[in-house]
Amino acid sequence: MNLPSFLWLWRIAAWSMGLSLLAYLLLAITGGWLLYGRSNSEPRPAWLRPLHYTIGGTLVALVLLLLAIGLVGTVGHYGSLGHSAHLPIGLAVVGLTLVSAWSSTQISPSRPWARSLHLSINLTLLFGFIAVSLTGWSVVQKYLP
């Protein structure tokens, strides 16, 4: 691709990453609230679970947007992929996000493994977000004038 500037694309990516981290934080808070209520046999507000699912869906959309931006921007700028560790780490974060979303739909009393899988994946996703943020920062420095 021969586009005049990819700076606008990186701005969208920066906002998407910031919103992804915010969504992850909100998911940790609402998920912790759900877990606390469940552990202490307290009733949960009717709006809490739908809010958790909505934020989770938003996170999936943002991560997929970041994937698309990264692929288009990198191919457009370099003509190919794989110029740093950001690609495999980013793909891992996308995969973890999708598996986390899938596992959330499996949580039920008849599938006790799903909740622990969901929580484990989300903890792993925290480290993935840290790694993708660090590698992403070094990638962005290559594109800045």
Neighbours of 135 (CB within 10 A): 17
DSSP at 85? T
Residues in a beta bridge with 111: 108
pLDDT tens per residue across span 2-20: 444 667 777 888 899 999 9
* CB neighbour list of residue 117: distance below 8 Å, 6 or more residues apart: 103, 106
Calculate mean pLDDT across residues 55-76: 92
Q: What is the mean pLDDT of residues 118-137?
A: 95
Rounded to 5°, angle at Cα 14 from 105 and 19: 35
* Banded model confidence at residue 50, pLDDT cuts 50, 70, 90: very high
**CB neighbour list of residue 31: distance below 8 Å, 6 or more residues apart:** 52, 119, 122
Report whether pLDDT(113) > 90: yes
Query: Predicted confidence band at 140 (pLDDT cuts at 50, 70, 90)?
Result: confident
